[in-house]
C-alpha cells in the first residue's frame, strides 16, 4: 500500500459522493476530518477506507465545528485537507469557515445539499444553501464555490477545488446536491500524470523575511507550514501583514479589502461557465448543479416550439459571474433562473441585469427536481 | 572578590550573588516579586513608570542570592536576576528554600 | 525594610535583554493582561519548562482559543495559532496529525476549554490525542468582563450571577481523567517551580495531557467577590492549597472557601490516537 493507490485510473461507475472522495484522493488530500450526515456521509465513508491506503488520516470528529477546525489545522501542518457535510452540518461549519477565510487557509469543504431549513429533508435534494455559502459566516468575505452537475464533474471539480484553494490560499466550497451525490454514473479517472495539480505555494523567503499575510498585486500571500522555523503567528482577530492583531478601523479596512480583492481581482481567472445554445439566444436560462440538467431539458422543449433560448450554466457560482450577466443583459430579452430554492442565485441575476431585461424564477422547495415542462413554460412566458 | 565560573567545590558552601535587572516600562506593579523574594531584596519604588505603575527596586541587592524567583513569578517579564559571583562563606546556609518554599506551599 | 542599597542603582534595562525574550514576541509587549493577573506567571513557567526540555523551538506549536488566556498564542515566539472560541483543540488535532514532528500545546481558558470547547476536550481525551492542554482556570470569563462560567464556584458572584452562581461547576482533573487523559496535574500560579516541573515533565510525553493552572483574575473574578488584588489571591492560594500527588480527583472540587487540591493526579500511558490507528490499520492493510 502507498501512493500507487492514490489515483484509481480507469472507467468506473460511481455515485457522486464516491466520485467526490476519489477527486479528493487524486488531488492529493491527506486529511479528512468529518461528521456523518446524509446525504454526504458516503464521502466520509469512502475517505475512511481510502486515506489509510496512502498514509493519510481520516478522523471522525465530534461535531462539525471540530471537523472544520481540524482541516484548517491539518492545512497549517502541511497537508491538503478536506471535509464534507450537509444541511445542519453546513450551518455548524460556518463559524470556522470564517476562520479559514481570515487565516487564508487552503482547504476544501464539500456540501451535498439537502432540503432545509433545520433537519429538513435528510435524504432529498435541495439547493437552498447557496446564499449561506456566500453570506453564512459573519462579516464580509468572498468565497469560491463550484456546482458540479454529475458524478464525473464532482470528481473533476473536487480536484479543481483543491487547485483553487492552493492558488488563492483560501477555503473552497463544492456546493453539490443530494441528486448528484447519490446518482451513479460513469466516471473516468485519468492517469495520474494527466492530472493537473497545483502544489502548495510555499514561500522561498527565509524566516525573518516572511510575513504570513504579505502579498503583491495579485493579493495572494505565500504559505508556510508549522515546524519549518518561521514562527508564524496567525489569528482570527483582525490582523496586519505580520499576522499580529490590530484592532483598528484602518487594519480592518486593509484586511477585509484584501480578502475581497483576492477573489474579485482574480475572478475572470476563477470563473468557469458553460454556454449552451447562446449564439442566437433571446432568453437565457441560468442554472447550476442538478437543476441545470433538468433546465437543459426544459430548454430543449422550449426550443422545439421555436423559442430562441440558451443556457448559462454556472460551474463557478461564487464569485458570481456578474460581468457576464451585465453583458448579456444588454442584448437578450429575458433571464430565467432555475434552482431548488425560492430565489437565491436569481437575486444575483436580477441585481446585475439591473432592469435591462426581464427576470423570471422557476422556484422549487426541494425534495425533488423541477419538471422540465414547467421550465419550458417559464421560458415561453419569458420569450413573449 | 570575584569567583567567576569557579568550579564547584563540595567542601565549601557557596553563596551566590545576583544582580537585579528591571524592565521598568513593562512592570505593572503587582508586587509579586517584592512579596515573595526570599531575601527581601526588593521594594516598590516611589516613582511611577510611564504606565503609572511603581516598579521594583533592589534595595538590598547585596542580599540577592540569584534564586530566580522574581523572574519566575513576575507576570510581566519585567524583572530578572543574573548571577554575578559566588562567595565562599561559613555563615548559615542562605539558600532558596526558606521563603521560596513557603511561597510555593 | 529601609536601608537602600546606596552602592548600586537598580539596573533599568530594555525588554529585549530579558532571558525569555527569545521565546516571546517582544514587539507585542507589554501584554494586555491586567496588573496582578496570574496569566503571565504561568506563561513564564511554560517558557522555562520548554527551555529545560531542550525540545527545539521550531518543533513546538501553540494553539489557543479566545479569552484572556487565549492571547498566550500571540505572545509566544513559536508557531502559534489563535483560533475561535473553544476550537483550539480540534484545530490542534489537525495540526498534530498532519505534522507528527510537532509538539502541539493547546493553551486556553476554562470557559474556552470546558464550556464552549467542552465537547472537544472530552473527545480529544477519549482519543488520547497527542496534545498537551494547559487550562488556565480563573473561575470566570475574564475577557468578556467576569461572567459565570463552567468552573465558577457555587455562590461566587459574577456579572451574570449577581445573586451568586448556583450552577454546579466542573472539576477539571476529574473531568479529564474520566474522559481518558493520560497525564493530569493541577497547580496554582503560586506553585511556579512545581508548575514548571509539571510542564517540563508533560511536554515530551505522548497522549492527552492536561495541566490546570488556578490563576488569579483580580479584575473580573476577585473584584466581584471582594477577594482583593492579585497578590491577595496569591496569598489565598498559599493558605488554602494542599499538595497531594495521586489524589482521588473526586476530592478535587473547588469551593469558594475550601482547599485547592494540587499535584499530579494521574500519569499513565496508553496508545495515542495516531499510534493506535496506524498500528491496527497497517496490520489489516498488510503494510509495513
Ligand atoms: C462563539 C463565541 N462566543 C462567545 C464569545 C465571547 N467570548 C470571548 S472570550 C469568552 C470567555 C473567555 O473565558 P475563558 O475561556 O475562561 O478565558 P479567560 O478570559 O477567563 O482567560 C467569551 C464568552 C466568542 N468570542 N465567541
Ligand atoms: S533573585 Fe531571588 S533573591 Fe534575588 S531579588 Fe530575585 S527573588 Fe530576591
Ligand atoms: S512581579 Fe513584575 S510586574 Fe509585578 S511588581 Fe515585580 S516586576 Fe513589576
Ligand atoms: S480580566 Fe482577569 S484574566 Fe483577564 S487579564 Fe485581567 S486579570 Fe487577567
Ligand atoms: Mg476563564
Name the grid cell of A154: 464532482
Tell me the C-alpha distance between A57 and A81, whole Å: 10
- Chain C residues with CB under 8 Å of A60 CB are none
Q: How confident is the model at residue B6 (pLDDT cuts 50, 70, 90)?
A: very low
**B6 CA to chain C: closest CA distance, Å?**
22
Q: What is the 3-state secondary structure (H, E, C) of C184-203?
A: EEEEECCCHHHHHHHHHHHC
Calpha distance A81→A148 (Å, rounded):
20
pTM exceeding 0.90: yes
Q: Which of C12, C18, C241 sits opposite B80 (nearest CB)?
A: C18
pLDDT tens digit string along A118-145?
Answer: 999 999 999 999 999 999 999 999 999 9
Q: Can you list the pairs that B85-88 forms with residues at least 24 positions away whose Cβ atoms lie under 8 Å?
A: B85/B1, B85/B2, B85/B3, B85/B4, B85/B16, B85/B17, B86/B3, B86/B6, B86/B14, B86/B15, B86/B16, B86/B17, B87/B1, B87/B3, B87/B14, B87/B15, B87/B17, B88/B3, B88/B9, B88/B12, B88/B13, B88/B14, B88/B15
Residue A180 has pLDDT above 70, yes or no: yes
Contact B77 C14 (CB under 8 A): no
The ligand whose atoms approach the alpha carbon of B32 most closely is 3
pLDDT of res. A363: 97
Residue A186 has pLDDT above 90, yes or no: yes
Confidence at residue B86, expressed as pLDDT on a 0 to 100 scale: 80
Residue predicted with more confidence, A224 or C258: A224
Q: What's the structural domain count of chain C? A: 1
- Closest by CA position to A64, among listed A136, A6, A135: A136
pLDDT 10s digits, C85-110: 999 999 999 999 999 999 999 999 99
> With 90 as the cut, is the pLDDT of residue A307 above it?
yes
Which CATH number goes with the domain that contains C215? 3.40.50.970
Ligand 1: does its nearest atom lie under 6 Å from the Cβ of C75?
A: no
Which residues constitute the domain of residue C85?
Answer: 26-284
**Residue ranges in chain C whose pLDDT is less than 70:** 1-8, 287-288
B47 alpha-carbon distance from chain centroid: 20
Q: Return residues 206-235 of C near B (CB < 8 Å).
A: 229-231, 234-235
Instruction: Give the number of other CB atoms < 10 A from CB of residue C256.
Output: 15
The stretch A298-327 carries a mean pLDDT of: 98
- Cα distances (angstroms) measured from residue C251 to each of A32, A348, C244, C259, C261: 40, 61, 10, 10, 8
Confidence band for B14, pLDDT divided at 50, 70 and 90: confident
Q: What is the mean pLDDT of residues A241-261?
A: 98
| Measured distance CA(A176)–CA(A290) in Å, rounded | 8
Q: Considering the domain boundaries, does residue C133 fall inside one?
A: yes
For the CA of C215, the closest atom of ligand 4 is 3
> Taking a C-beta distance cutoff of 8 angstroms, is the pair A13, A187 a contact?
yes
pLDDT of residue B12: 64
Is the distance from CB of B39 to CB of B95 less than 8 angstroms? no
Q: Which residues, numbered 80 to 109 in chain A, qualify as contacts with chain C under a Cβ-Cβ cut-off of 8 Å? A: 81, 95-96, 98-99, 103
* pLDDT single digits (tens) B81-95: 999 988 765 444 444
pLDDT at B103 over 80: no
| The three-state (H, E, C) secondary structure of B38-87, written as one string | CCCCEEECCCCCCCCCCCEEECCHHHCCCCCHHHHHCCCCCEEEEEEEEE
Which ligand 2 atom lies nearest to the CA of residue B65?
3
Is residue C13 in some structural domain?
no
> Is A187 a residue whose pLDDT tops 60?
yes
For chain A, list the domains and their CATH numbers. Answer: 3-194 (3.40.50.970), 272-383 (3.40.50.920)
Residue C183 lies in a domain: yes
Residue of C55, C62, C98, C272 to mutate when probing chain A, most A C-beta within 10 A: C98
Q: Let me know if residue C5 belongs to a domain.
A: no
Considering the domain B18-104, what is its CATH architecture?
Answer: 2-Layer Sandwich (3.30)
ipTM: 0.97
How is A108-129 classified by DSSP, letter by letter?
A: EEEEEEEE-STT-EEEEE--TT
pLDDT band at B15 (very low <50, low <70, confident <90, very high): confident
Is C75 domain-assigned? yes
- Residue C263 belongs to a domain: yes
User: What percent of chain A stands above pLDDT 70?
Assistant: 100
What pLDDT does residue B85 have? 80
In a domain, C97, yes or no: yes
Convert the pLDDT of each residue in B25-35 to its tens digit: 999 999 999 99
Amino acid at each position: 500500500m502507498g501512493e500507487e493507490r492514490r489515483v484509481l485510473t480507469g472507467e468506473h461507475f460511481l455515485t457522486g459522493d464516491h466520485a467526490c472522495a476519489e477527486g479528493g484522493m487524486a488531488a492529493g488530500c491527506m486529511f479528512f476530518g468529518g461528521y456523518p450526515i446524509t446525504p454526504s456521509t458516503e464521502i466520509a465513508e469512502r475517505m475512511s477506507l481510502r486515506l489509510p491506503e496512502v498514509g493519510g488520516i481520516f478522523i471522525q470528529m465530534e461535531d462539525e465545528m471540530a471537523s472544520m477546525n481540524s482541516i484548517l489545522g491539518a492545512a497549517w501542518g502541511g497537508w491538503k485537507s478536506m471535509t464534507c457535510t450537509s444541511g445542519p452540518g453546513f450551518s455548524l461549519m460556518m463559524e470556522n469557515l470564517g476562520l479559514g477565510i481570515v487565516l487564508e487557509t487552503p482547504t476544501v469543504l464539500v456540501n451535498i445539499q439537502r432540503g432545509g431549513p433545520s433537519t429538513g429533508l435528510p435524504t432529498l435534494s435541495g439547493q437552498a444553501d447557496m446564499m449561506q455559502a456566500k453570506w453564512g459566516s459573519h462579516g464580509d468575505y468572498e468565497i469560491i464555490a463550484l456546482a458540479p452537475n454529475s458524478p464525473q464533474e464532482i470528481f473533476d471539480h473536487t480536484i479543481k477545488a483543491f487547485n483553487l484553494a492552493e492558488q488563492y490560499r483560501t477555503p473552497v466550497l463544492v456546493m453539490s446536491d443530494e441528486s448528484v451525490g447519490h446518482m451513479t454514473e460513469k466516471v473516468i479517472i485519468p492517469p495520474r500524470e494527466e492530472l493537473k495539480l497545483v502544489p502548495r505555494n510555499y514561500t522561498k523567503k527565509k524566516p525573518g523575511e516572511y510575513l504570513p499575510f504579505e502579498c503583491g498585486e495579485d493579493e495572494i500571500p505565500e504559505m508556510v507550514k508549522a515546524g519549518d522555523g518561521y514562527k508564524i503567528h496567525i489569528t482570527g482577530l483582525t490582523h496586519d501583514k505580520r499576522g499580529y492583531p490590530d484592532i483598528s478601523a484602518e487594519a480592518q479596512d486593509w484586511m477585509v479589502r484584501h480578502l475581497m480583492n483576492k477573489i474579485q481581482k482574480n475572478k475572470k481567472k476563477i470563473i468557469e461557465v458553460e454556454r449552451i445554445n447562446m449564439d442566437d439566444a433571446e432568453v437565457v436560462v441560468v442554472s447550476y448543479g442538478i437543476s441545470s440538467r433538468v433546465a437543459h431539458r426544459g430548454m430543449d422543449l422550449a426550443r422545439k416550439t421555436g423559442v430562441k433560448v440558451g443556457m448559462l450554466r454556472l460551474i463557478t457560482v461564487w464569485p458570481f459571474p456578474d460581468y457576464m450577466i451585465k453583458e448579456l443583459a444588454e442584448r437578450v430579452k429575458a433571464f430565467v433562473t432555475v434552482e431548488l430554492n425560492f430565489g437565491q442565485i436569481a437575486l444575483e441575476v436580477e441585481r446585475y441585469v439591473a432592469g435591462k431585461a426581464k427576470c423570471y424564477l422557476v422556484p422549487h422547495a426541494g425534495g425533488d427536481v423541477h419538471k422540465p415542462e414547467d421550465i419550458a413554460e417559464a421560458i415561453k412566458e419569458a420569450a413573449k | 572578590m570575584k569567583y567567576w565560573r569557579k568550579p564547584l567545590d563540595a567542601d565549601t558552601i557557596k553563596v551566590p550573588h545576583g544582580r537585579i535587572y528591571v524592565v521598568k516600562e513593562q512592570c505593572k506593579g503587582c508586587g509579586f516579586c517584592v512579596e515573595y523574594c526570599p531575601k527581601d531584596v526588593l521594594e516598590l519604588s516611589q516613582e511611577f513608570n510611564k504606565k503609572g505603575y511603581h516598579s521594583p527596586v533592589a534595595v538590598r541587592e547585596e542580599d540577592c542570592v540569584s534564586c530566580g524567583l522574581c523572574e519566575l513569578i513576575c507576570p510581566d517579564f519585567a524583572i530578572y536576576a543574573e548571577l554575578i559571583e559566588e562567595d565562599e562563606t561559613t555563615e548559615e546556609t542562605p539558600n532558596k528554600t526558606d521563603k521560596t518554599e513557603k511561597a510555593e506551599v | 525594610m529601609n536601608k537602600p542599597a546606596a552602592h548600586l542603582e537598580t539596573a533599568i534595562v530594555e525588554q529585549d535583554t530579558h532571558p525569555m525574550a527569545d521565546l516571546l514576541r517582544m514587539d507585542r509587549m507589554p501584554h494586555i493582561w491586567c496588573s496582578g493577573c496570574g496569566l503571565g506567571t504561568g506563561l513564564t513557567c511554560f517558557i522555562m519548562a520548554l527551555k529545560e526540555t531542550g525540545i527545539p523551538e521550531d518543533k513546538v506549536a501553540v494553539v489557543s482559543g479566545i479569552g484572556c488566556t487565549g492571547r498566550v498564542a500571540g505572545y509566544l515566539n513559536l508557531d502559534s495559532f489563535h483560533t475561535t472560541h473553544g476550537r483550539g483543540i480540534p484545530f490542534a488535532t489537525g495540526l498534530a496529525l498532519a505534522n507528527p514532528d510537532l509538539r502541539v500545546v493547546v493553551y486556553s481558558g476554562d470557559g474556552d476549554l470546558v464550556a464552549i470547547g467542552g465537547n472537544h476536550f472530552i473527545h480529544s481525551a477519549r482519543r488520547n490525542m497527542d496534545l498537551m492542554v494547559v487550562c488556565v482556570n480563573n473561575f470566570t470569563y475574564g475577557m468578556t468582563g467576569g461572567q459565570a462560567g463552567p468552573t465558577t464556584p457555587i455562590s461566587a458572584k459574577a456579572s451574570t450571577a449577581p445573586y451568586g452562581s448556583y450552577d454546579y461547576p466542573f472539576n477539571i482533573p476529574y473531568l479529564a481523567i474520566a474522559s481518558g487523559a493520560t497525564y493530569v496535574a493541577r497547580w496554582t500560579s503560586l506553585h511556579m517551580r512545581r508548575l514548571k516541573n509539571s510542564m517540563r515533565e508533560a511536554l515530551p510525553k505522548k497522549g492527552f495531557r492536561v495541566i490546570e493552572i488556578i490563576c488569579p483574575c483580580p479584575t473580573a473574578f476577585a473584584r466581584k467577590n471582594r477577594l482583593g488584588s492579585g497578590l491577595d489571591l496569591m496569598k489565598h492560594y498559599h493558605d488554602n492549597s494542599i499538595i497531594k500527588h495521586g489524589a482521588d480527583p473526586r476530592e478535587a472540587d473547588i469551593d469558594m472557601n475550601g482547599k485547592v487540591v494540587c499535584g499530579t493526579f494521574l500519569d499513565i500511558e496508553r496508545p495515542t490516537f495516531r499510534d493506535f490507528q496506524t498500528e491496527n490499520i497497517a496490520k489489516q492493510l498488510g503494510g509495513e
